[in-house]
Structure 1
Amino acid sequence: MHGLPSGDGAAFDWKDVLVVIICVLLSAFFSGSETALTAASHARMHTLEKEGDKRAGAVNRLLRQRNRMIAALLLGSTLVNIGGSAFTTSVLTVVAGENGAVYATILMTVLLLVFAEVLPKTLAINHPDAMSLRVARFITPFVSIFGPLLAAVEWIVRSVLKLAGVEIGHGRTMISPYEELKGAVDILHEEGEVERSARDMFGGVLDLQVLHVADVMIHRTKMRTIDADLPPVQIVREVLSSPFTRMPLWRDRPDNFVGVLHSKDLLRALDAAGGDASKIDIDDVMNAPWFVPEATTLEDQLEAFLKRKTHFALVVDEYGEVMGLVTLEDILEEIVGDIRDEHDLAVQGVRPQPDGSVLIDGAVPVRDLNRVMAWSLPDEEATTIAGLVIHEAGAIPEAGQVFTYHGFRFEVMRKIRNRVTALRVTPQEAIEG
């Protein structure tokens, strides 16, 4: 045997060194592959497979048997780590005698930590998709060959966990697919890969499943309505002075809605009457009102609007009382943001100030405020900004009171009866600045 002689007559074999190097490289391969495959984008792999990429198909097959794949990679990593350590001990024992085991432990710890763990995993976590596509074809046969052994390992693991009271798979329901999608888009936005407008639109589409018409409706206190018993001439004037094309009509009392008047229908009736508004019978022109429950989701309401080919509905509570109205535009604004045309009122109720604070009307919805100002105030417990302050305070605050919640300073500027009508909201960074 060719090699260097040692103190006890044994020879140093360079083949052992080569084996150690190979073991470290294989350990790096298994370690990096595990990180890349577990971090790979399922959506991207699914898209690539549909486009005919066979490598992506291999990745998807591995991900569908994730537990077995991880077990195979850990098996491979364990085998080469033990083998490498054994050969290193053998080599250094020849060179350094009985202290060789100590030196082998130190050397292998450094080699495996730097070159078989940190380096490959850093590379994999920064390029998971590309690396997954490269390694999948090598990992697939390894998983197939050791399949029976890995199946036994899986059974042992499941049995032990079951004895400990842990059921495999139950933890995957911690968050819903809806939350996973929103979280993924938020992360992509923070990383600069998705524009804020695209993130908001995508989030708006997902929110249609969880928001209700009560969250976006125009409250009855802000509804513009007309008394159906007014003279037709006056009703025409009311419609022409309104920025809205559809007007709810009531009779006897303001909460007794009997119909909805469309401006186009009124103009046709006016034309048919030769321009004489007094000849118009409003009951013949108006349409029957459509009432929808406030608990209806926006997704269901959007579908209902499309089926009925109408854009307007009155919202009622569980007792049948009208709480407000909702339009197709209100739902679309949840997706694309505020929609304004030349007839819309200019007041938005959000007025940024030079000192970094923002003057806000109490009735401004929290969701609209978050979208306009890029804030993240909670909107689960209250619809409007005034409602949020009342909810957090646990009472109706007085003008001049100041509160600090969720990283913002809320100052009540104006209160009318039991309604908070104006607030000054200042982000924490503006206060500290």
Structure 2
Amino acid sequence: MSLDWTLIGPVLMIIGLLCLSAFFSGSETSLTATSRARMLQMERDKHPGAAVVNKLIGDGESLLGSILLGNNLVNIAASMIAGQLFEDLLGGNSVLWATLIMTFTVLIFAEVLPKTYALSNPDRFALTVARPILLAVKVFAPVVRAVQVVVRGTLRIFGANVEGPVLSAHDELRGAIALHHEEGGVVKDDRDMLGGVLDLRELTVDDIMVHRKSILMIDADKKPEEIVTEALHSPHTRLPLYREDTENIVGILHVRDIARALHEADGDASVIDIDALRREPWFVPETTEVLDQLNAFREKREHFALVVDEYGALMGLVTLEDILEEIVGAIEDEHDIAVEGIQPDNENGSWLVDGAVPIRDLNRALDWELPDEEAVTIAGLVIHEAQTIPERGQVFQFHGARFEVVERRRNQITRLRVSVSPDELDAL
């Protein structure tokens, strides 16, 4: 019994083309699913093939264009050969049978099967196919460039913007952190710390500064012993000195300098020369980015700066600790004054919140997403949304939260009761 090579030849060609189609399909899935960060680390560890994978991922448009071109070429070629084979075998019904069988075969063996495996083992698959795919990219490069020109030109006709990445590197990192947190791979504290690092460039010092109302200052015209007593009883190590007007800051007094001078004076505070101890104040604009201020602290080896507005008026102060707290959360030592900020209330799972609590701190504590573009504190947010200074007992609902004014002093909201909006609870 002799083999009919007129049938075996086309069948072998179809099988070979389907294998190529599976290769391109699996490669597409693995190279798009693999972690670029993981591959970068593998490249630094001199893992063979990782550099090629990173090179391919770096030019995603050419990579996908070459894979799609190769995949379509082999699928079309396989379909044409199958159509001719079925026409020789079946005659008039060849088109229907060829379409049904090739669709089923391509779907199972050239699409679903390789992509399923590649999705389960993206790094291993990507490292295996990297060099052959790189060769395909180089071979198909002229055609892919021509296709890119046509595609971009067509999209521009319809007003579509195809330049640049959709997400910045910071946005991609935020998305990855949020995804891992939802999947349980990153705990809330770690997520907040990582997010705090990314937020430093988006914040200015007026977002995190201590407001001038809360600054503890010392009158430089007081007697030396009075100044020393006030400084040593203060919970802070650095204190601004003013003369005549609190806007007129003449220097910064460091408690360590006072202690040294007090020791040299054998404990007699009245003979201490305060003017000789005071340091020059450092003023920074309120629009300074927090990351730039952090770098400035490191360069000047300072931990304390006064914040002024565009007219030179004192707005507040910022310390190195304030910046670090944006990353790691509140830092309290044995000398910190216990400040009532956010505490649970017994009524319906609500919280009592001081009006001066920053929105960012409330978001971090309660895992909320209240906007902080128009206001820094929670009281400021309520006033901004209400477009008025609310009275005690007034209730507002916005941004998925409920706010009740509990205390008000003059024009300042000092305490609120906050909770999830009833509408949001009904939707859960």
Q: Distance in 2 between matches of 1:406 and 1:125?
A: 38
**Which runs of no fewer than 5 residues in structure 1 stay unpaired?**
5-10
Structure 1's 366 and 114: CA in aligned 2 closer, same or farther, altered over 3 A?
A: farther
Written as runs of structure 1 = structure 2, the 5 A alignment for 1:167-178 is 168=162, 170-172=163-165, 174-178=166-170
Matched, 1:78 2:72: yes
Shift of residue 16 of structure 1?
A: 4.3
Matched, 1:421 2:414: yes
Question: 1:265 is matched with which residue?
Answer: 257
Matched, 1:302 2:302: no
Give the 3-state SS of the residue equivalent to 1:255 in structure 2. strand
Matched, 1:68 2:59: no
Q: Distance in 2 between matches of 1:320 and 1:64?
A: 48
Shift of residue 13 of structure 1?
A: 3.5
Dislocated runs of 4+, deviation >6 Å: none
Q: Distance in 2 between matches of 1:398 and 1:3?
A: 96
Q: Distance in 2 between matches of 1:113 and 1:352?
A: 57
Question: 2:390 is matched with which residue?
Answer: 397
Q: Is contact 1:12–1:95 with CA below 8 Å preserved after alignment?
A: no
Q: Distance in 1 between matches of 2:358 and 2:159?
A: 45
Question: 1:37 is matched with which residue?
Answer: 31
Relative to structure 2, which stretch is displaced further, 201-210 or 355-364?
A: 201-210
Q: Is contact 1:2–1:13 with CA below 8 Å preserved after alignment?
A: no
Q: Is contact 1:37–1:59 with CA below 8 Å preserved after alignment?
A: yes
Matched, 1:320 2:320: no
Shift of residue 283 of structure 1?
A: 2.1
Relative to structure 2, which stretch is displaced further, 197-206 or 320-329?
A: 197-206
Structure 1's 95 and 135: CA in aligned 2 closer, same or farther, altered over 3 A?
A: same
Matched, 1:188 2:180: yes
Written as runs of structure 1 = structure 2, the 5 A alignment for 1:28-427 is 28-93=22-87, 97-161=91-155, 168=162, 170-172=163-165, 174-354=166-346, 355-427=348-420
Give the 3-state SS of the residue equivalent to 1:326 in structure 2. strand
Shift of residue 213 of structure 1?
A: 0.9
Structure 1's 381 and 119: CA in aligned 2 closer, same or farther, altered over 3 A?
A: farther
Q: Is contact 2:200–2:290 with CA below 8 Å preserved after alignment?
A: yes
Shift of residue 186 of structure 1?
A: 2.2
Shift of residue 274 of structure 1?
A: 2.1
Q: Distance in 1 between matches of 2:7 and 2:112?
A: 29
Q: Distance in 2 between matches of 1:214 and 1:14?
A: 78
Q: Is contact 1:20–1:88 with CA below 8 Å preserved after alignment?
A: yes
**For each residue in 1:399-431, what CA deviation from the matched residue of structure 2 results, as whole angstroms up to 9, or x when unmatched?**
222222222222222222222211122135894
Q: Distance in 1 between matches of 2:34 and 2:125?
A: 9
Q: Distance in 1 between matches of 2:141 and 2:102?
A: 29
Q: Distance in 1 between matches of 2:293 and 2:72?
A: 57
**For each residue in 1:27-81, what CA deviation from the matched residue of structure 2 results, as whole angstroms up to 9, or x when unmatched?**
2321221122233322222222222123111112223343332222112211222
Q: Distance in 1 between matches of 2:231 and 2:199?
A: 34
Written as runs of structure 1 = structure 2, the 5 A alignment for 1:1-40 is 13=7, 16-40=10-34
Give the 3-state SS of the residue equivalent to 2:202 in structure 1. coil
Q: Is contact 1:363–1:384 with CA below 8 Å preserved after alignment?
A: yes
Q: Is contact 1:315–1:323 with CA below 8 Å preserved after alignment?
A: yes
Shift of residue 160 of structure 1?
A: 4.2
Structure 1's 292 and 68: CA in aligned 2 closer, same or farther, altered over 3 A?
A: closer
User: 1:47 is aligned with what amino acid?
Assistant: Q
**For each residue in 1:70-128, what CA deviation from the matched residue of structure 2 results, as whole angstroms up to 9, or x when unmatched?**
22211221122223323443454456542332233233333333443344334434443
Q: Is contact 1:12–1:91 with CA below 8 Å preserved after alignment?
A: no
**For each residue in 1:331-390, what CA deviation from the matched residue of structure 2 results, as whole angstroms up to 9, or x when unmatched?**
111122211111112224010235322211111111122222222222222211112222
Structure 1's 280 and 400: CA in aligned 2 closer, same or farther, altered over 3 A?
A: same
User: 1:106 is aligned with what amino acid?
Assistant: L
Identity, in percent, stands at 52
User: 2:170 is aligned with what amino acid?
Assistant: Y
Q: Distance in 2 between matches of 1:151 and 1:414?
A: 66
Q: Is contact 1:215–1:383 with CA below 8 Å preserved after alignment?
A: yes
Give the 3-state SS of the residue equivalent to 1:254 in structure 2. strand
TM-score (norm: length of structure 1): 0.88
Give the aligned CA root-mean-square deviation in angstroms.
2.8
Structure 1's 357 and 12: CA in aligned 2 closer, same or farther, altered over 3 A?
A: farther
Structure 1's 175 and 137: CA in aligned 2 closer, same or farther, altered over 3 A?
A: closer
Number of aligned positions between the proteins: 425
TM-score (norm: length of structure 2): 0.89
